Structure 1
Amino acid sequence: MRTSRPLTAAALAAAAVALTAAPVYAGKGGSGGLQMYPSNAAPGAAVTVNTTACGTARAAAGDASAVGAGVFTLAPGTEAKDAVGRFQVPPSAQPGTYEIVAKCSGGGQVTGDLMVTLTTSQQEVQPKGHVKTGVGGALGTDPTMTAAGVAALAVAAAGGTWLLHRRARGEGF
């Protein structure tokens, strides 16, 4: 058995995964960039800022003055080498792209872009209200109809069992 084919296939698969994988961090400056969630925010929205560029210091002073939000603090997050902070986009913010800056406590600076839009994207809109699927609850909207449905299912199950029993005894359908 030749091992070159399985190794070649494995190498090609690994290369395909590496080429199609999206970068985890996309930002300017630093090794980790400055990530913002959401990256497209409407005026009044809260924005979470995250970076791994500060290394083991895991702390930074953030500056969102460009958008009018002022300074904020990035503190150690739950992940290793992770610094996390929050600020709120002012309700008076105008649409556009703003550079947000974080200065690491151990030295260095990292930046990222925040896009302010008048409306949030559909991915960021949280659903509200009831979901209308056409299926009622345990009792449905009409208990009489639910009881009729249960009775029809019981008759079908009993009839199917009876037919299978007849066939097993050789009596046919």
Structure 2
Amino acid sequence: MRGTTRLLAATALAVTAAGGLAAPAFGGTAAKAGVLDVAPHTVVPGTHITATTDACGGSGAADGDASAVGAGRFTLAPSSDEGRAIGQFRVPDSAVPGTYEIVAECAKGGRRALGDLIVTLGPAQGAVYPRGSVKTGVGGALGPDPVQTAAGVAALAVAAAGGTWLLHRRARGDGI
């Protein structure tokens, strides 16, 4: 029993190391995934993206899927650049920062091309700056009325003048 377990473990290790148990790439086929070039690679929401691949060979047509970032499906058509498919989509304004996988599936042959898109928040997009007053609980007892504010300033001025007068008398030795 012990020998059988060791034999099975060694066989499994050898098969895994040789890559014999690779998972299928897509839809049960073992097609190798190609590269999908996404330009620009790092974007802010609202940016138009161009995706290109040469994984589809001569036919050049492919169906793109950018639903991971919320853009939905798009079409890659054969371009004048031999064997390349090109398509465009727009990153929605509601996209959140992160890295997203964009996929293109060739019309013929079932090959897939994969590319990454990085969404960030730029200074003009989604930046939130504070506005208004800060509610700290200090001050503001009189409110925004200018008459009340002037009365408060006058009361402080009288208190400061009275304190200065009392300190001056004490310094002269007149007492309080």
TM-score between the two structures when normalised by the length of structure 1: 0.51
Q: Which amino acid is 1:76 matched to?
A: P
Which stretches of structure 1, 4 residues or longer, exceed 6 Å deviation after superposition? none
| Cα offsets for 1:105-153 (capped at 9, x unmatched) | 0121111100001128xxxxxxxxxxxxxxxxxxxxxxxxxxxxxxxxx
Match for residue 70 of structure 1?
72
Match for residue 114 of structure 1?
117
Match for residue 33 of structure 2?
30
Match for residue 128 of structure 1?
none
The number of residues matched between the two structures is: 91
Displacement of 1:78: 1.8
| Cα offsets for 1:19-74 (capped at 9, x unmatched) | xxxxxxxxxx634x000110001100000000001101100000000000000000
What are the within-5 Å matches in structure 2 for residues 10-49 of structure 1?
Answer: 30-31=33-34, 33-49=35-51
Q: Per the alignment, in what secondary structure is the counterpart of residue 64 of structure 2?
A: strand
Counterpart pick for 2:97 among 63, 75, 95 = 95
Q: Which runs of 5+ in 1 are unaligned?
A: 1-28, 121-173
More helix per residue: 1
Q: Which amino acid is 2:65 matched to?
A: D
| Distance (Å, rounded) in 1 between the aligned partners of 2:76 and 2:96 | 25
Q: Which amino acid is 2:106 matched to?
A: C
Match for residue 57 of structure 1?
59
| Cα offsets for 1:77-98 (capped at 9, x unmatched) | 1210010000000000000000
Q: Per the alignment, in what secondary structure is the counterpart of residue 68 of structure 2?
A: helix
RMSD over equivalenced CA pairs, Å: 1.3
| Distance (Å, rounded) in 2 between the aligned partners of 1:60 and 1:92 | 26
Q: Which amino acid is 1:91 matched to?
A: D
| Distance (Å, rounded) in 2 between the aligned partners of 1:116 and 1:77 | 27
Q: Which amino acid is 1:103 matched to?
A: E
Q: Per the alignment, in what secondary structure is the counterpart of residue 66 of structure 1?
A: coil
Q: Which runs of 5+ in 2 are unaligned?
A: 1-31, 124-176
Q: Per the alignment, in what secondary structure is the counterpart of residue 80 of structure 2?
A: coil
| Distance (Å, rounded) in 1 between the aligned partners of 2:49 and 2:41 | 8
TM-score between the two structures when normalised by the length of structure 2: 0.50
For the pair shown, the structure with the greater C-alpha radius of gyration is 2
Identity of aligned residues (%): 53
